[in-house]
Chains A and B, each alone.
Chain A
Amino acid sequence: MTYIPMDTRSHYAALVRRKRLYGGLTLGIFALLMISGFGLANERNAGGFWTGLPQIFDFPAAVWADTAKHLAEIPAHLVHYFPALLETINIAAVSTLVGALFGTVLSLLSTRGLAPWPAMIPVFRRIMDILRAVPEIVIALMLIFVLGGGPVPAMIAIAFHTSGALGKLFSEVNENADLKPVEGLASVGAKWGQRMWLGVIPQVAPNYFSYGLLRFEINIRASAILGFVGAGGIGYELKNTMSWGQGKFDEAAAIFLLLFLTIVAFDQLSSYIRNRLISEGGH
């Protein structure tokens, strides 16, 4: 067999050219989609992008003007809306706890090697997919219709989604768990619950905790936004204060401030704890 280096090189060059062509084409199509997409979105928007752009600071300016006028009252507003903020945080915390609990059970039921009924694994996976796929607002609005406004519909709605989302992440963690403790426990006649509680949970707890914290952060945002559609907490108060209109935006400003500070504080806190967990795990 004769070896022709030039041929290899030209073949390689052709491959590179083709790869570049495909890459260029993909980029081109993507750019086209973005541009036409923005055009379309702009067309269907009530106000155009370019007419709106100069007005983008009008609202923050109006809020700031009202705030500046009533600067002395802001601390009082902050105190006044603190219970509502607490409700929002409670919604997030409870739904994270409940979601983590259901997520743990679902993840154990759907991990190969740990599941008590291996044949049912696909069923539990699909259940988690569906739990994840239903947007919170759908469940929240339906429950508001039945249960009336308040924190409970939001809590249940977020817990639904959380159990699906955490269940998926937890089952990924479970797959990396060492099965030796489980086998050891099984050899002394431990039941399934005992094997999981004593053999698996201690191994995966730090990772669960870290994912749970991340979810808690997301859930604070979710519970604030659900409040806006009528499910209680700080979002609901924000909607009310917004509807009072120009001249009374100082209360809205206080809520903006509370919400912003809360989100940033929990963001920093959770990343600090997660970093510590990771560095502890490294020892």
Chain B
Amino acid sequence: MSTDVLSRDTLYAASDRIFLRKKLVSIALPAVVLAYLAYVFFAFDILGLAERARWDNAQTLMSDTYSYKTHVTRDNRSGEVSVSIEGERKGNYPTGTAPDWVVRDGQSTRIDLGGGQIVTFLPENALRFEIPDYGVIEAAMSGREIKTNLTGDLPDWISASKSRLQITTDEGRVSLTRSKTEVFNYFFGWELFWFTLDSPYYGYSLTDILFGPQIVQGQSNIAGAVHDFWNNPMWHHNMVAWAIFETILMAFLGTFGAAIVALPLAFLAAKNFAPLMAVRFALRRVFDLFRGIDGLIWTIILARAFGPGPMTGALAILLTDTGSFGKMFSEALENVDSKQIEGVASTGAAKSHVYRFGVIPQITPILLSQVLYFFESNTRSATIIGAITGGGIGLLLTQAMLTQKDWEEVTYYIILVVLMVMLMDTVSGWLRNKLIKGE
């Protein structure tokens, strides 16, 4: 009886201790995480970040992703007026032509920005800007200075100095400097995505091209349109397609190359197949080394030897993944069922036949699914590695971002990268399902 009481008391005490520990852990763990986050909050200077952030950059980025601008520029020395999309030579309207919102009338040019806002380029490098809710702004170059009719406190969307006048409204932007007068008019969409202005197919709809009369004599519409689209000098669709292909190629060669190298090595490093324990130990350390020298370091070392390009990226992935696959494959080999192997061996099969029919069929589904999983994630890595070694879509993406000008191109690349990765996900997921559940 007394022993029962004693044991009951000790049990109570033990359970109390367990509960206390659980309570402590459930308070201490979130507390530690919170304390760590607080430390990082100050270590990363999150407060200072809000001040350093350039929200105007964010705005440019956002608006540029879904809109484009057309520049109307007057050279203030020659008086010549040109119209071009995104201000690029490739987007120039041929001389003498202009969109219908730009009307030339002898010496002056009238630009209708929409919303009742009208800019007029007047002779003698003068400018007149009618804004319905504000009034009329007049400005002109007088000698080397800009003279305007603006007085008093200016709203924050106008900035005026002796050498520069800039007016930004929700319809567009006007700027006047000594050398040129420029008007930006914003429109929705990605202009010239299909054809540039010099292509005969510009302005035609899909049905016109497919079923309409021949646009260029002696050439089928579809062939001509595909050619002009593919070689679009503004969007470079052919280059972009190549870059995507190069990125997938890097991932493919790296992943499967690593699998081919790692498979025989894994046999030497698996406990149940290793001929020598010393070899097994050495190989395991080699795998650790190859994995430990990260893809970044491999990329740097290899880029020095092979120069920039897809081969360098493929080899960097290959070397890192040889380490990972070597480790994973040898672990898979250590877990094989020995019954099948003994069964095959009992029929008097040669060593190679034992491997071929006793081991390989057991591990193939596991190995292939691991390899496919890596292939999928390496498509993403290849984008980053490409940015460093200079190959594939990663390079195009970083270049377009570093110039900080054509964000619609950046958006285009991002969409393509995401689609590429999702496609790879789907394909490899489908293949893995098929392999695991049997064909």
> Which of these, A52, A136, A137, A147, contacts B49 with CB under 8 Å?
A147
* Chain B, 232-260, CB within 8 A of any chain A CB: 246, 249-250, 252-253, 256-257, 260
Contact across chains for A130 and B418 when beta carbons are under 8 A apart = yes
Give the chain A neighbours of B250 by CB distance below 8 A: 41
Give the chain B neighbours of A93 by CB distance below 8 A: 36, 40
Given contacts A145-B401, A147-B53, contact A155 B294 (CB under 8 A): no
> Which of these, B44, B249, B309, contacts A150 with CB under 8 Å?
B44
Give the chain A neighbours of B294 by CB distance below 8 A: 221, 224-225, 259-260, 263
Contact across chains for A52 and B300 when beta carbons are under 8 A apart = no
Chain B min CB distance to A214 (Å): 12
Give the chain A neighbours of B306 by CB distance below 8 A: 45-49, 52, 56
> Which of these, B45, B253, B304, contacts A41 with CB under 8 Å?
B253
Closest Cβ neighbor of B382 among chain A residues = A135
* Chain B, 376-423, CB within 8 A of any chain A CB: 380, 383-384, 387-388, 390-391, 394, 397-398, 401, 404, 410, 414, 417-418, 421-422
Whether A141 sits at the interface, judged by CB under 8 Å, is yes
Q: Please, what's the 1-or-0 string for A110-146, where 1 marks a CB less than 8 Å from any CB in chain B?
A: 0000000000000000000110111111100110011
Contact across chains for A90 and B311 when beta carbons are under 8 A apart = no
Contact across chains for A90 and B57 when beta carbons are under 8 A apart = no
Give the chain B neighbours of A264 by CB distance below 8 A: 288, 292
Chain B min CB distance to A91 (Å): 8
Q: In the complex, A137 Cα to B249 Cα: how many Å? A: 19
Q: In the complex, A263 Cα to B291 Cα: how many Å? A: 9
Whether B52 sits at the interface, judged by CB under 8 Å, is yes
Whether A188 sits at the interface, judged by CB under 8 Å, is no
Q: Please, what's the 1-or-0 string for A35-62, where 1 marks a CB less than 8 Å from any CB in chain B?
A: 0011011101111110011011011100
Chain A min CB distance to B218 (Å): 35
Contact across chains for A235 and B296 when beta carbons are under 8 A apart = yes
Give the chain B neighbours of A146 by CB distance below 8 A: 53-55, 57-58, 61
Contact across chains for B44 and A151 when beta carbons are under 8 A apart = yes
> Which of these, A90, A138, A152, contacts B397 with CB under 8 Å?
A138
Give the chain A neighbours of B302 by CB distance below 8 A: 56
Q: In the complex, A221 Cα to B388 Cα: how many Å? A: 15
Contact across chains for A44 and B404 when beta carbons are under 8 A apart = no
Give the chain B neighbours of A150 by CB distance below 8 A: 44-45, 49
Whether A192 sits at the interface, judged by CB under 8 Å, is no
Give the chain B neighbours of A58 by CB distance below 8 A: 304-305
> Which of these, A45, A53, A133, A135, contacts B307 with CB under 8 Å?
A45
Whether B46 sits at the interface, judged by CB under 8 Å, is yes
What's the tally of chain B residues with a CB closer than 8 Å to chain A?
A: 64
Whether A267 sits at the interface, judged by CB under 8 Å, is yes
Contact across chains for B297 and A256 when beta carbons are under 8 A apart = yes
Contact across chains for B418 and A142 when beta carbons are under 8 A apart = no
Q: Please, what's the 1-or-0 string for B172-205, where 1 marks a CB less than 8 Å from any CB in chain A?
A: 0000000000000000000000000000000000
* Chain B, 281-319, CB within 8 A of any chain A CB: 288, 291-297, 300-302, 304-312, 314
Give the chain B neighbours of A173 by CB distance below 8 A: none
> Which of these, A45, A60, A142, A238, contacts B309 with CB under 8 Å?
A45
Q: In the complex, A93 Cα to B36 Cα: how many Å? A: 10
Give the chain A neighbours of B397 by CB distance below 8 A: 137-138, 141
Main secondary structure of the interface of A (DSSP, over half): helix
Closest Cβ neighbor of A165 among chain B residues = B377
Closest Cβ neighbor of B309 among chain A residues = A45
Chain A min CB distance to B199 (Å): 28
> Which of these, A30, A137, A155, A225, contacts B44 with CB under 8 Å?
A155
Closest Cβ neighbor of B419 among chain A residues = A133
Q: In the complex, A42 Cα to B246 Cα: how many Å? A: 11
Give the chain A neighbours of B387 by CB distance below 8 A: 137, 229
Chain A min CB distance to B294 (Å): 5
Contact across chains for B308 and A45 when beta carbons are under 8 A apart = yes
Closest Cβ neighbor of B44 among chain A residues = A151
Contact across chains for A152 and B44 when beta carbons are under 8 A apart = yes
Given contact pairs A135-B421, A150-B45, enumerate 18 new A-B contacts (beta carbons under 8 Å).
Answer: A37-B253, A40-B310, A41-B250, A47-B306, A49-B311, A94-B40, A97-B33, A129-B422, A130-B422, A134-B421, A137-B384, A137-B394, A141-B397, A148-B49, A155-B44, A221-B296, A225-B294, A260-B293
Question: 19 A-B contacts, Cβ less than 8 Å apart?
Answer: A37-B253, A41-B309, A45-B312, A49-B306, A55-B304, A56-B306, A59-B305, A90-B43, A132-B425, A134-B418, A137-B394, A145-B57, A148-B49, A226-B384, A229-B387, A256-B297, A259-B296, A263-B291, A267-B291
A residues with CB within 8 A of B: 30, 33-34, 37-38, 40-42, 44-49, 52-53, 55-56, 58-60, 87, 90, 93-94, 97, 129-130, 132-138, 141-142, 145-148, 150-152, 155, 221, 224-226, 228-229, 235, 238, 242, 256, 259-260, 263-264, 267
